[in-house]
Structure 1
Amino acid sequence: MKTETNLSFEVESGDTTKFDDDGRAKRTGNVKTATAHIITAVIGSGVLSLAWALAQLGWIAGMVALLIFSLITMFTSSLLANSYRSPDPINGRRNYTYKEAVKNNLGGIKYKFCGVAQYSNLVGITIGYTITSAISMAAIRRSHCFHHHGHDAGCHVSNNPYMIIFGVMQMILSQIPNFHDLAGLSYIAAIMSFTYAFIGIGLSVAQIAEGKGGKTSVTGVTAGVDVTTSQKVWNSLQAIGNIAFAYSYSNVLIEIQDTLKSSPPENGEMKKATTVAVSITSVFYLLCGSLGYAAFGKDAPGNFLTGFGFFEPYWLVDIANICIVVHLVGAYQVFCQPTYQLVEDWLRHRYPENDFIVKERPILIPFIGIYNVNVFRMIWRTSYVIFTSVIAMIFPVFNSVLGLIGAASFWPLTVYFPVEMHISQAKIRSFSLPWIWLKILSGACLVITLVAAAACVQGIIVELSHYQPFKSVS
């Protein structure tokens, strides 16, 4: 409490070099850093499943779905960017989190529903990233095994040790205090995402050029031939959930926007970053999905970089999978920081005099300098990483989990709340033309979310029916 008083006093006294208008440390983010954060958040494990998604949907429905989700994400993200300040998007009061923006724009019970949707989704994504990173690390070992023993060798590897390794890395990185210190990590992660996407595209082109491409069709896998009719329906709906997951980042948009300088206006800068990042992402998604599908056809694997055709050249596949792991190390931090801050801010507000919760202890780290250690932060964040790692070991079902996370978050976080806050903020009259088409958009996306979520739950049930916990094998 004392700190807040001092900050406010310095700002009022005219010292604006270190603090923003709200008394917090001056924000230094710009379009480039926000774009890096968004790309780190968006181009994640979702890109790996797009070839499989196109194999289920076919050329027409698959490409249309990718474009539609891209346009919806770009549009609703621009609406959400206006909600960072309220009631006025330029001069209004700052909202530091997505939930706070919903509370100040909509009020009532909606912000509680938003909190449940946002933070359960953030936890789900970190679990999904733990699974994906382990699969990629295991793929490196498998590629060497195939290289030395031939593609007929089993070369099966347990994923659990790699989930533990990923968890240990996250325990260390989780001690980064907040979002404002993640820019460097996001730059590295964004570069890694481009690298493995380019490698996947290159490998797909090489396989197609060699005449080893798979059989593709306008409608995807054929019901009654490749799969049963019910499997075709369920897999198609699950594919839609995977595409929704691939564009998921709205749940951290407000937190990313809170890193931007106050001038020029944050909403304008965030819209620029969103347009650039989602446009770049869409191009990569279209290339990875279409070329991956052309390379593998109806047999496209859930993770196209660990597919049967990509064990040679094994060293290039290794580089791609290393890039995936490095990228997900950074992406995990982007998605877990809001959860960390939620718990820590709530406890600091509730127990402001408790040294265990609020006291920072300076420690000298050789070659780095002074680092402030908070005992509660260290214990809480370490416990969170252990929790997500254990859950990942229990439920390591890749495509179904990604699809369910994407489907469950798409409507409430990407569409519903941005649309409702825009209607409230812009004071759009009920049953006017803009109100009607915004409601139609929201309703259509709700239907997509429900059917895709149902398909993913069905997929998880089927996959877990013959699975034993803690015995995940690649």
Structure 2
Amino acid sequence: MLSAIRRSNCFHQSGGKNPCHMNSNLYMIIFGAIQIVLSQIPDFDQIWWLSTVAAIMSFTYSIIGLSLGIAKLAEADTFKGSLTGITTGSVSLSQKIWRTSQALGDIAFAYSFAVVLVEIQDTIKSPPSEAKTMKKAALISVTVTTVFYMMCGCTGYAAFGDAAPGNLLTGFGFYNPYWLLDIANAAIVIHLMGACQVFSQPIFAFVEKRVTQRCPNLERELKIPIPGFPPYKLKMFRLVWRTLYVVFTTLVSMVIPFFNDVVGVIGALGFWPLNVYFPVEMYISQKKIPKWSNRWICLKIFTVACLIVSVVAAVGSVAGVVLDLKKYKPFHTNY
């Protein structure tokens, strides 16, 4: 996204004549360095205003993307594309199947909030109970997310047809007004800075808990005095482990910088177990739903159907990554 800001300015200066190919490695390193600092903030996921900032940033870039898509559609004064999607003349039938499968993975990733559900719930004040607040919040957020994403997707496809980029803001279906694109991409960067940490916190907590249970000495803290603030409690294991984690994920993102394909893989792998299987099993256990009852059968059918969708999405996304790797040179390819 940082490189997208620079690229939009390049597009503006050249009037769209310069393809403005750029290497995003430097920006990934900068983002990784910021994540190393953020990862050392104790209880980062407990910051109450974090969700508010994320919501504002999400609405900002979503509304901008939707508005630009509507403007592009009005400019063309016609609907492109078709109800059946990209035509088989533009791509082969097998490619269309893979892309459709990958799209399912992208959609699944958009709803993979179960991993951070508890983290967000911990920041909510009571009364009323956190569970009641989260139930209402989840219903509203899923509804709003679905409406926004459907509108953005349909509008973008109607405006660009088969040439629609995978990401309307970074794919540069439009590059003017460039300052508005810069605002949208800056909002994405701010959103991702916090989101990366929130998604990583459960992993950090799990590993640190397991390791310190076996090696209690690793819990030792070094208090660093900060003028005007309470002393910062530095844990060497946390510093080393979280830094290595961020460095590793940054290197992976530099080696495989395929946003849509990688998002599809992550979404497909995480959607079924975290968003479907475990929640459904917990619901069955909590409500004591008897086996082979109508409700039990419906829930099991729903679980199996979602598993099939996840498998198809994973296969399609992996196929997309494999195809991208054939034409990509790690650390050198420009976009």
Q: TM-score of the superposition, structure 2-length normalised?
A: 0.94
The residue number in structure 2 matching 1:190 is: 55
Report the alpha carbon displacement of residue 305 of structure 1 after superposing the two structures with TM.
0.5
Quick one: which of 312, 319, 323 aligns to 2:187? 323
Give the distance between the partners of 1:235 and 1:397, measured in 2 at CA. Answer: 14
Matched, 1:161 2:26: yes
Matched, 1:431 2:292: yes
The residue number in structure 2 matching 1:461 is: 322
Q: Structure 2 counterpart of 1:247, which letter? A: Y
Quick one: which of 222, 230, 233 aligns to 1:372? 233
Quick one: which of 212, 228, 241 aligns to 1:348? 212
Q: What pairs up with 1:295-334 in 2 under 5 angstroms?
A: 295-334=159-198
Quick one: which of 308, 313, 322 aligns to 1:447? 308
The residue number in structure 2 matching 1:42 is: none
Report the alpha carbon displacement of residue 154 of structure 1 after superposing the two structures with TM.
2.7
Q: What pairs up with 1:63-462 in 2 under 5 angstroms?
A: 136-179=1-44, 181-211=46-76, 215-223=80-88, 225-261=89-125, 263-352=127-216, 354=217, 357-366=218-227, 368-462=229-323
Give the distance between the partners of 2:79 and 2:227, measured in 1 at CA. Answer: 54
Q: Secondary structure at 2:224's aligned position in 1?
A: strand
Q: Secondary structure at 2:76's aligned position in 1?
A: coil
Q: Structure 2 counterpart of 1:211, which letter? A: A
Closer, same or farther in 2 for the Cα pair 1:411/1:196, shift >3 Å? same
Is the Cα–Cα contact under 8 Å of residues 207 and 213 in structure 1 kept in the other structure? Answer: no
Higher mean C-alpha deviation, range 419-428 or range 326-335: 419-428
Report the alpha carbon displacement of residue 212 of structure 1 after superposing the two structures with TM.
6.2
Closer, same or farther in 2 for the Cα pair 1:373/1:214, shift >3 Å? farther
Give the distance between the partners of 1:472 and 1:266, measured in 2 at CA. Answer: 47
Q: Secondary structure at 1:305's aligned position in 2?
A: coil
Closer, same or farther in 2 for the Cα pair 1:264/1:329, shift >3 Å? same
Higher mean C-alpha deviation, range 209-218 or range 394-403: 209-218
Q: Deviations over 1:103-156 (max 9, x none)?
A: xxxxxxxxxxxxxxxxxxxxxxxxxxxxxxxxx111111111122223121311
Higher mean C-alpha deviation, range 394-403 or range 365-374: 365-374
Give the distance between the partners of 1:405 and 1:430, measured in 2 at CA. Answer: 32
Structure 2: give runs of 5+ residues left out of the alignment. none
Q: Deviations over 1:423-460 (max 9, x none)?
A: 12222111110110000100111111111111111111
Closer, same or farther in 2 for the Cα pair 1:212/1:332, shift >3 Å? farther
Q: Structure 1 counterpart of 2:23, which letter? A: S
Give the distance between the partners of 2:50 and 2:121, measured in 1 at CA. Answer: 17
Quote the sequence identity (%). 53
Is the Cα–Cα contact under 8 Å of residues 11 and 175 in structure 2 kept in the other structure? Answer: yes
The residue number in structure 2 matching 1:8 is: none
Q: Secondary structure at 1:372's aligned position in 2?
A: strand
Give the distance between the partners of 2:206 and 2:70, measured in 1 at CA. Answer: 45
Is the Cα–Cα contact under 8 Å of residues 403 and 453 in structure 1 kept in the other structure? Answer: yes
Q: Deviations over 1:333-385 (max 9, x none)?
A: 11011111111122222233x1xx21233323346553222222112111111
Give the distance between the partners of 2:292 and 2:44, measured in 1 at CA. Answer: 40
Q: Secondary structure at 1:370's aligned position in 2?
A: strand
Q: Deviations over 1:284-306 (max 9, x none)?
A: 21222122222222211011112
Closer, same or farther in 2 for the Cα pair 1:472/1:372, shift >3 Å? farther
Q: Deviations over 1:254-307 (max 9, x none)?
A: 333344456533322221221122222222212221222222222110111123
Give the distance between the partners of 1:366 and 1:168, measured in 2 at CA. Answer: 24
Is the Cα–Cα contact under 8 Å of residues 293 and 300 in structure 1 kept in the other structure? Answer: yes
Is the Cα–Cα contact under 8 Å of residues 204 and 292 in structure 1 kept in the other structure? Answer: yes
Root-mean-square deviation (CA), in Å?
1.8
Q: Structure 1 counterpart of 2:222, which letter? A: R
Q: Structure 2 counterpart of 1:182, which letter? A: I
Is the Cα–Cα contact under 8 Å of residues 396 and 472 in structure 1 kept in the other structure? Answer: no
Structure 1: give runs of 5+ residues left out of the alignment. 1-135
Q: Secondary structure at 1:391's aligned position in 2?
A: helix
Q: Deviations over 1:18-45 (max 9, x none)?
A: xxxxxxxxxxxxxxxxxxxxxxxxxxxx
Give the distance between the partners of 1:204 and 1:368, measured in 2 at CA. Answer: 47
